[in-house]
């Protein structure tokens, strides 16, 4: 027996098997149960949401041998023949291929005759908006006053193209896009019934790509099963869909938040190595920004398991103004990408536009600041324009040494750069606090771009001989390549003046990484600035006298 595709095999046979569209099903079920049947129904909605399926089930309900019912038996000859598409009194017409007026007249010639086998003669006209104006005129009179044994079921994806004279003679039902959760729930049921191994993350990727269409979701599932050799796994599904690894998008936003132009371009270069769909990359970037914006207003709302950590982290690194700006530039960039010399350059220009229009984009980004700044209270300005203060948000403070990450002096002893403030040069081999601290080592090695991005998300486990062990946050694993690891080894070898072998372990660091510590210290500085303003006697006087209020989003901690 030939293979039956999932979209046909799992087509709903009755109203209870339908996914979604409860508002439509309720009206039809009540009409059938209470014998309040109209002569013409119009089902509209985007592709694959169940228009034709609902119409066929309705036709089955009208002609079931046990009587007009909202629960057709599915076993009588009428039900079976309708399911198999060979019921003589169900006349299905594809209006896209029969647009001429002569076709319509031929179709309506037999309307006056009684049904051959069923209770009703049902005309199911799909894509009815494709009929010509003359065809609509030929249909109109019959549609207005059909014989009692005739029912018209019309389906369309574009109801605006139907004449109002036709619309006014039909009961109209608009079928909605099916929610992602309902699609995923259905896919999980199908793969379980079919005995197909599948990842929930992969099924969610397919459901998201279907864009509310159950038929598209089932077609993608069929394709994914073939592509994955009988299984549906995240990696294979991503390759099939041309999806962008979500970690790439996360690192793009991290680089933007830290105003790291070199890191931003390096992230774009790494992403381009996979030959991605750059329009899809901007869609993914916009989607992540939308989740961040929602989380900033309603913490925890709309998060999914796979992106909880990244959304929460980025929501703390970006201001709501930045999120809105980046989102607007991303969706505008999708429109402009086809006008660019090539998609890659259009994508890069969109990222550079985000960097250029980011508040205080003209100020040189600071990679580090004096250790300990985060602990003292800072003055704050009310109403400072973003262009004067925006870049201060993500300036990285070197964290103080941590007992958990601190290695022995023999492990980390090595040369350190000149002290820029005093002009003093430290000698190789001497051990001090800066050489023992991982964040200070990153500063001393002058790492840039993706190398620095990976390093600040690591915890240093220690050094045994010439082997240095790092523990990397799994969220940054997408950036690890042989080239990047070689660059890190080279920088460490130059610093320690010996051939270093680098060992990277993927695990959640037990202590704060430099990146997380910087974000925390920045939040502490912002909180201290808010408290300083609240306690300021001048501010208190303005509040009591004029009823003034502090706009929280305008508060920025100032550098010394």
pLDDT score, position 303: 66
d(CA 446, CA 424): 18
406, pLDDT greater than 60: no
- How far from 34 is each of 30, 405, 470, CA to CA, in Å? 6, 74, 71
d(CA 247, CA 315): 15
- Residue 171: pLDDT band (50, 70, 90) is very high
Q: What mean pLDDT comes out for the span 307-311?
A: 72
Taking each helix axis from N to C end, the angle separating 438-445 and 514-535, rounded to the nearest 10 degrees, works out to: 100
436 near 403, Cβ under 8 Å? no
31, pLDDT greater than 90: yes
400, pLDDT greater than 80: no
pLDDT score, position 187: 93
Burial of 312 (0-12, 13-18, 19+ CB in 10 A): middle
Lowest-confidence segment of 96-105, 152-161, 221-230, 232-241 by average pLDDT: 96-105
CB-side exposure of 418: number of CA atoms within 13 Å?
5
Using a pLDDT cut of 70, give the percent of the chain over it. 84
Strand partners, 90: 122
pLDDT in tens, 136-160: 888 888 888 888 899 999 999 988 8
Residue 70's closest CA among 84, 81, 59? 59
d(CA 261, CA 281): 18
361, pLDDT greater than 50: no
Domain 246-357 fold is: Zinc Finger, Delta Prime; domain 3 (1.20.272)
Lowest-confidence segment of 64-73, 258-267, 521-530 by average pLDDT: 521-530
pLDDT score, position 519: 81
Q: What mean pLDDT comes out for the span 409-436?
A: 38
- Residue 421: pLDDT band (50, 70, 90) is very low
How many beta carbons lie within 10 A of that of residue 432, not counting itself? 12
pLDDT score, position 302: 63
Tokens 């620095």 correspond to what residue?
452
- Residue 446: pLDDT band (50, 70, 90) is confident
Lowest-confidence segment of 6-10, 320-324, 353-357, 404-408 by average pLDDT: 404-408
pLDDT score, position 54: 94
d(CA 333, CA 219): 30
61 near 87, Cβ under 8 Å? no
Helices and strands, number each (H, E), in the chain: 25, 12
3-state secondary structure of 153: strand
Give the dihedral of Cα atoms 484, 490, 492, 496; nearest 10 deg.
Answer: 170
3-state secondary structure of 92: strand
d(CA 345, CA 354): 14
- Residue 436: pLDDT band (50, 70, 90) is very low
pLDDT score, position 57: 94
408, pLDDT greater than 60: no
- Residue 28: pLDDT band (50, 70, 90) is very high
Strand partners, 465: none
pLDDT score, position 433: 40
**Paired tokens of 344:** 């890659």
Superfamily of domain 409-416+429-511: DNA polymerase III, tau subunit, domain V (3.30.300.150)
More confident residue, 545 or 559: 545
Which DSSP string do the residues of 26-80 spell out, in sequence order?
Answer: HHHHHHHHTT---SEEEEE-STTSSHHHHHHHHHHHHH-TT-S-SS--S-SHHHH
d(CA 11, CA 301): 33
Domain 6-174 fold is: Rossmann fold (3.40.50)
Strand partners, 173: 43
d(CA 284, CA 333): 13
187 near 217, Cβ under 8 Å? yes
Tokens 């010399």 correspond to what residue?
341
Spatial CB neighbours of 283, under 8 Å, sequence gap ≥ 6: 334
359, pLDDT greater than 50: yes
pLDDT score, position 417: 64
Burial of 89 (0-12, 13-18, 19+ CB in 10 A): buried
What mean pLDDT value characterizes the chain?
80
128 near 167, Cβ under 8 Å? no
Query: Which residue ranges make up each domain of the chain?
Result: 6-174, 180-241, 246-357, 409-416+429-511
133, pLDDT greater than 90: no
Residue 321's closest CA among 524, 558, 552, 559? 552
CATH 1.10.8.60 fits 180-241, yes or no: yes
d(CA 427, CA 413): 10
Asked if the domains at 180-241 and 246-357 fall in one CATH topology, the answer is no
Spatial CB neighbours of 546, under 8 Å, sequence gap ≥ 6: none
d(CA 158, CA 372): 63
More confident residue, 508 or 73: 73
d(CA 425, CA 195): 68
d(CA 538, CA 62): 78
């Amino acid at each position: 027996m030939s293979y039956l595709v999932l979209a046909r095999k799992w087509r709903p046979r009755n109203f209870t098997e339908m996914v979604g569209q409860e508002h439509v099903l309720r009206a039809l079920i009540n009409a059938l149960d209470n014998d309040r049947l109209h002569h013409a129904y119009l089902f509209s909605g985007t592709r694959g949401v169940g228009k034709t399926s609902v119409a066929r089930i309705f036709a089955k309900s009208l002609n079931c041998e046990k009587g007009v019912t909202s629960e057709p038996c599915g076993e009588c000859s009428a039900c079976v023949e309708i399911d198999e598409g060979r019921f003589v009194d169900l006349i299905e017409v594809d209006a896209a291929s029969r647009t001429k007026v002569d076709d319509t007249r031929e179709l309506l010639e037999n309307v006056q005759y009684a049904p051959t086998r069923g209770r009703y003669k049902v005309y199911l006209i799909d894509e009815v908006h494709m009929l010509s104006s003359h065809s609509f005129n030929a249909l109109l009179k019959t549609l207005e006053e059909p014989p009692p044994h005739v029912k018209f079921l019309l389906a369309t994806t574009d109801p605006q193209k139907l004449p109002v004279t036709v619309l006014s003679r039909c009961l109209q039902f608009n079928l909605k896009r099916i929610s992602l959760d309902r699609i995923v729930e259905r896919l999980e049921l199908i793969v379980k019934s079919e005995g197909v191994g599948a990842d929930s993350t992969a099924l969610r990727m397919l459901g998201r790509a279907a864009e509310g269409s159950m038929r598209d979701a089932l077609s993608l599932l069929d394709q994914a099963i073939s592509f994955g050799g009988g299984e549906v796994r995240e990696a294979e599904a991503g390759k099939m869909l041309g999806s962008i690894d979500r970690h790439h998008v996360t690192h793009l936003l991290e680089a933007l938040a830290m105003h790291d132009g070199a890191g931003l371009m390096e992230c774009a270069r790494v992403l381009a190595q996979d030959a991605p769909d750059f329009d899809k990359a901007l869609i993914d970037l916009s989607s992540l920004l939308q989740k961040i914006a929602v989380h900033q207003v309603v913490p925890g709302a709309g998060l999914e398991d796979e992106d909880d950590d990244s959304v929460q982290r980025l929501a703390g690194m970006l201001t709501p103004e930045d999120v809105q700006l980046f989102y607007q530039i991303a969706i505008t960039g999708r429109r402009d990408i086809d006008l660019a010399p090539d998609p890659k350059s259009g994508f890069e220009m969109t990222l550079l536009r985000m960097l250029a229009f980011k508040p205080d984009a003209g100020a040189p980004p600071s990679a580090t600041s004096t250790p300990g700044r985060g602990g003292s209270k800072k003055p704050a300005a009310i109403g400072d324009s973003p262009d004067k203060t925006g870049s201060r948000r993500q300036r990285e403070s070197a964290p103080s040494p941590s007992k958990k990450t601190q290695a022995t002096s023999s492990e980390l002893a090595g040369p350190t750069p000149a002290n820029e403030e005093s002009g003093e040069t430290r000698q190789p081999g001497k051990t001090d606090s800066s050489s023992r601290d991982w964040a200070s080592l990153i500063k001393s090695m002058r790492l840039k771009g993706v190398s620095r991005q990976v390093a600040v998300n690591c915890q240093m486990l220690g050094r045994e001989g010439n082997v240095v062990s790092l523990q990397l946050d799994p969220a940054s694993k997408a950036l690890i390549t042989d080239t990047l690891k070689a660059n890190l080894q080279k920088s460490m070898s130059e610093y320690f003046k010996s051939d270093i072998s680098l060992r990277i372990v993927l695990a959640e660091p037990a202590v704060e990484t430099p990146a997380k510590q910087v974000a925390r210290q920045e939040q502490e500085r912002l909180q201290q600035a808010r408290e300083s303003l609240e306690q300021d006697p001048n501010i208190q006087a303005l509040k009591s006298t004029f009823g003034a209020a502090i706009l929280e989003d305008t508060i920025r901690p100032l550098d010394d």
